[in-house]
Amino acid sequence: MKSFIGKSILLLGITTLGVGGISGCAKKKVNNDHELNIICLNRGYGREWIDAVKEKWEEQNPGYTVNLKAESSADDLINKNLYSRDNIDDLYIGCDKAWKTYALKGKLLELDDLLEEEVDGVKVVDKINDEYDKSIYFNGHTYRLPWTSGVPGIYYNSAMFEKYGWSIPTTVDELITLCTTIKNAQIKVGDSPKATDLVKPFVFTGENMDYFDYAVFTWWGQLAGINNVQDYLKYQSAATFSSSNAGFTALGNALKQWWEIFGDQTNYVADSKTWTNHLAQQSFYNGYAAMMINCDWLYNETLKYTSGSFREGFDLRIMKTPLARGASEANRSVSYIVGEDQYFAVPKTTIKANLAKSFIKLMISDWGIENFAEKARGTLAYKSTETIVTEDGYTNSLFEYLSATPNRFTNWSDSKLFQNGVIDVWSENSLAPYSRIFNSNKSNPVDNYLSELSSNAASSWSKWVATAGQ
């Protein structure tokens, strides 16, 4: 009996080790030559557009399939897989400043040759929007192509404007007057039982106050002009952040005009400073505010709060950003564009680079641009050889905005200070102004902030240069 028990224990131990050995070994990923593995960010723009590209690409490439992972956590998954030993991914569509780090660490395939290939009879390099003409080159090569030319600015409920006869403001002064008009109208919010629930001019997201950049940067461009903005973005010395720099002076002026509106708490929904993106957007959709500073993903994100279509009384549009006080009339054509953190990229480990490139070419084709406009309600960072007109008033307002503002810029800089993530437009990212100004106890918070910005740059410049390895 004793011998039997001993053998049982021995066999049990072998079995346990065997099971542990099997479960402890990660199953190696199978890389199918006829399967294109794509990870795509699925947030504001949704996934309907990429599903349509997948379907069309498979039709054009019989015998090949696309394994598409469209997830809200795509950026985390991309990061994980890029550092994996058996990465089988072929194409990434993401939104993360880390693409620059991936490129520097040799994780991404050079796409220099793709720039010379043709789509719709046009070289890819010539199809990319002009605002990205510098940032498609990084460290001497092209590792990433831009995804969208996100249209930022003041979005408004067109149905509400029409109902109450409000005109679209063409200047900041007219915008301030409109805020007063909306408040004086004392419009009760829908079916709200609270007598104090009155329509406010604006709602915003406290979670992402950097969305205010989407109006302020365009006012900055209007006031400074493209040349002074580009000079500022060189980040040549600490003097960039001082009154001796025309770009800095104009940026401060734009910030002051923003504060003329948002320094008055009666101009926005009271809870805005504590709200997430979704709460603020829901408030806008539900009629608590007439306007919201946001970007073109707002349409699809707002649809998530509905049954698939907007309620009667809500009709989303973007207005042309009102001209800043003191800006040249000629600079109405200037606008800031969102998207330098977005990318199409191919991992260096792929064995299907040509297939990945063919998928990119389909996405940025005339068909792809129209597909994105129709299904994502956004604008890709590429020129179409055809004029795109849709039956959707919102999407048309995006294209009208871009048509009226051909002089566009992004926050891209060739400086290592920027490329290595040391500074941005507002100097150190931790000094982004809006929350600091809202929470300031100074009598003149904007001037105080600008003074702090200059002092911080002067005292920190040497450290920043050393950190960037410049």
DSSP 253-311: HHHHHHHHHHTSGGGB-GGGGG--HHHHHHHHHTTSEEEEEE-TTHHHHHHTTTTSSPP
CATH classification at residue 284? 3.40.190.10
Model confidence over 307-321: pLDDT tens digits?
A: 778 999 999 999 999
Model confidence over 103-122: pLDDT tens digits?
A: 999 999 999 999 999 999 99
Q: 201 and 162, same structural domain?
A: yes
Q: 293 and 199, same structural domain?
A: yes
Contact yes or no for 208/152 (Cβ under 8 A): no
pLDDT of residue 196: 77
Query: Can you read off the two tokens belonging to residue 63?
Result: 């015998």
Residue 292: inside a domain: yes
Using CA atoms, how far residue 123 sits from 115, 207, 211, in Å, is 7, 40, 34
Residue at a domain's end among 365, 394, 409: 409
> Does residue 390 register a pLDDT over 90?
no
Residue at a domain's end among 409, 426, 454: 409
Q: 317 and 266, same structural domain?
A: yes
Q: 294 and 197, same structural domain?
A: yes
> Does residue 378 register a pLDDT over 70?
yes
Count Cβ atoms below 10 Å from residue 184 Cβ, excluding itself.
8
- Longest Cα separation, the chain: 100
Residue 11: inside a domain: no
Contacts of 156 (CB under 8 A, 6+ apart): 168, 290, 291, 292, 316, 317, 318, 319
Q: Which residues pair with 424 in a beta bridge?
A: 427
In the chain, how many domains are there?
Answer: 2
Residue at a domain's end among 409, 427, 456: 409
Q: 443 and 405, same structural domain?
A: no
Q: 451 and 303, same structural domain?
A: yes
Dihedral of alpha carbons 208, 209, 213, 215, sign: positive
- Among 433, 266, 173, 246, which residue's Cα sits nearest to residue 442? 433
Which residue in the block uniquely carries the two structure tokens 């010379």? 116
Residue 137: inside a domain: yes
Q: 442 and 324, same structural domain?
A: yes
> Does residue 1 register a pLDDT over 50?
no
Quick one: CA torsion of 285, 290, 294, 299, rounded to 10 degrees? 40
Residue 4: inside a domain: no
Q: Which regions of 256-315 does DSSP assign to beta strands (E)?
A: 289-294
Model confidence over 147-203: pLDDT tens digits?
A: 999 999 999 999 999 999 999 999 999 999 999 999 999 999 987 777 678 999 999
pLDDT of residue 4: 28
Q: 182 and 286, same structural domain?
A: yes
Model confidence over 320-360: pLDDT tens digits?
A: 999 999 999 999 999 999 999 999 999 999 999 999 999 99
Contacts of 356 (CB under 8 A, 6+ apart): 36, 90, 91, 346, 350
Residue 240: inside a domain: yes
Q: 353 and 277, same structural domain?
A: no
Q: 325 and 357, same structural domain?
A: no
Residue 429: inside a domain: yes
Contact yes or no for 394/312 (Cβ under 8 A): no
| Identity of the residue numbered 145 | L
- Sheet order of strands, 342-345 included: 65-71, 35-41, 91-95, 342-345
| Identity of the residue numbered 350 | T
- Among 437, 391, 25, 402, which residue's Cα sits nearest to residue 210? 437
| Gap between the terminal Cα atoms of the chain | 78
Q: 219 and 203, same structural domain?
A: yes
Model confidence over 218-273: pLDDT tens digits?
A: 999 999 999 999 999 999 999 999 999 999 999 999 999 999 999 999 999 999 99
- Domain residues for the domain of 366 are 35-150+339-409
Q: 209 and 167, same structural domain?
A: yes
- Rounded distance between C-alpha atoms, residue 385 and residue 399, angstroms: 14
Count Cβ atoms below 10 Å from residue 106 Cβ, excluding itself.
10
Task: Select the more confidently predicted residue: 432 or 41.
Answer: 41
Residue 126: inside a domain: yes
Residue 83: inside a domain: yes
The angle subtended at Cα 75 by Cα 62 and Cα 83, nearest 5°, is 85
